[in-house]
């Protein structure tokens, strides 16, 4: 995906780290409600480290991602956090954490088998009595259908980015939907350029999420979306003692 490779240095001009404060607070609360006193956290698919830039005030964070370019972006924002290269379907660090957090990166798993592999990775890295928190953008039930979003920001170094994100679902009976990004990039001394990126993303019913979490060994519940500031459903898996 071009967004997480060649466009990685522009990532913090799509959403800004500040834009994540409210939702990160929701995730902090869900983690501590399930696992009071949690201190260590690993995030699978941490991307640019936007959520982590808030969570690191409360947890010692290890940030994993499959893209070396995105790890570099996050390292600059979160130099005090450990960063590791890893695919959430297969990564094995050989240690456990109080909390495992998986945010929107999970949408890049497009089959139930891939999602099951990521849930197993989370279980393997959750200590007994610990919690795993999964926050996909949508479930099949909450998917709003076709829609367009726009945004972008200006950097202090003169660079500017604006994007249009067009979401649609060509086949409502399968486990994917599609997103096209049209991104305009401006930087001093260069003509404005346009980049198109096409993403295929996973979409699963709530029942699939809960079944896969329970099958891996978690006790699973779902926290419904919390209005406009944090509309995503959050799946909480408690690893029994």
Ligand X SMILES: C[S@@+](CC[C@H](N)C(=O)[O-])C[C@H]1O[C@@H](n2cnc3c(N)ncnc32)[C@H](O)[C@@H]1O
- Closest distance between ligand X and the C-beta of residue 239, in Å? 21
Residue 80 beta carbon to ligand X: minimum distance, rounded to whole angstroms: 16
Name the residue among 233, 23, 217 with its Cα closest to residue 138: 233
| Choice between 129 and 195, CB closer to ligand X | 195
Q: Tokens in use for 170?
A: 């060509």
CA distance 23 to 14: 16
Comparison of 6 and 172: residue with beta carbon closer to ligand X: 6
Which residues ranging from 107 to 136 are in contact with ligand X (CB under 6 A)? 108
Of the candidates 14, 154, 10, the residue with the CA atom closest to the CA atom of residue 69? 10
The span of 43-51, 138-146, 157-165, 228-236 binding ligand X (CB under 6 A) equals 43-51
DSSP output for the chain: -GGGTTTGGGGGGSS-GGGGHHHHHHHHHHHHHHSTT--EEEEET-TT-TTHHHHTTTSEEEEEES-HHHHHHHHHH-TTSEEEE--TTT---S--EEEEEE-GGGGG--SHHHHHHHHHHHHHHEEEEEEEEE--S--TTT---SEEEEE--B-TTS-EEEEEEEEE-S-TTSSEEEEEEEEEEE-TTS--EEEEEEEEEE---HHHHHHHHHHHT-EEEEE---STTS-S-EEEEE---
Of the candidate residues 35, 47, 167, 197, the single one contacting ligand X (CB under 6 A): 47
Tell how strand 40-44 and strand 97-102 pair up. parallel
Looking at 26, 28, 54, 89, which residue binds ligand X (CB under 6 A)?
A: 89
Does 51 engage in binding with ligand X (CB under 6 A)?
A: yes
Stretch of residues binding ligand X (CB under 6 A), selected from 100-108, 188-196, 202-210, 230-238? 100-108
Q: Of the two residues 70 and 131, which places its CB atom closer to ligand X in the complex?
A: 70
Residue 240 CB, shortest distance to ligand X, in Å, is 26
Restricted to residues 2-31, the positions that interact with ligand X (CB under 6 A) are: 4
**What is the closest distance, in whole angstroms, from the C-beta atom of residue 3 to ligand X in the complex?**
8
Of residues 59 through 78, those in contact with ligand X by CB under 6 A are 65-67, 70
Q: How far is the CB of 49 from ligand X (least distance, A)?
A: 5
Q: Which residue is nearest to ligand X (CB)?
A: 47
**Site size for ligand X (CB under 6 A):** 20
- Window of 101-109, 170-178, 194-202, 209-217 that interacts with ligand X by CB under 6 A: 101-109
Binding region for ligand X (CB under 6 A)? 4, 44-51, 65-67, 70, 87-89, 103-105, 108
């Amino acid at each position: 995906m071009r967004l997480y490779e060649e466009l990685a240095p522009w990532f913090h001009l799509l959403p800004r780290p500040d834009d994540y404060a409210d939702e990160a607070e929701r995730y902090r609360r869900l983690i501590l409600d399930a696992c009071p006193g949690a201190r260590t956290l690993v995030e699978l698919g941490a991307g640019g480290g936007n959520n982590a830039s808030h969570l690191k005030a409360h947890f010692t964070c290890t940030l994993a991602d499959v893209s070396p370019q995105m790890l570099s972006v996050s390292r600059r924002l979160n130099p005090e956090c450990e960063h590791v290269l890893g695919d959430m379907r297969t990564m094995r660090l050989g240690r456990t954490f109080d909390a495992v957090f998986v945010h929107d990166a999970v949408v890049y798993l497009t089959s139930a088998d891939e999602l099951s592999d990521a849930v197993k990775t989370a279980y393997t890295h959750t200590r007994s009595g610990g919690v795993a928190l999964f926050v996909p953008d949508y479930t099949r039930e909450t998917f709003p259908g076709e829609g367009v979003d726009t945004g972008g920001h200006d950097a202090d170094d003169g660079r500017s980015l604006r994007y249009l994100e067009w979401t649609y679902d060509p086949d409502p009976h399968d486990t994917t939907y599609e997103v096209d990004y049209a991104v305009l990039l401006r930087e001093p001394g260069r003509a404005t350029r346009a980049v198109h990126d096409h993403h295929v993303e996973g979409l699963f019913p709530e029942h699939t999420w809960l079944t896969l979490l329970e099958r891996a060994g978690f006790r699973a519940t779902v926290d419904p979306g919390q209005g406009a500031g944090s509309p995503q459903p959050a799946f909480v898996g408690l690893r029994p003692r």
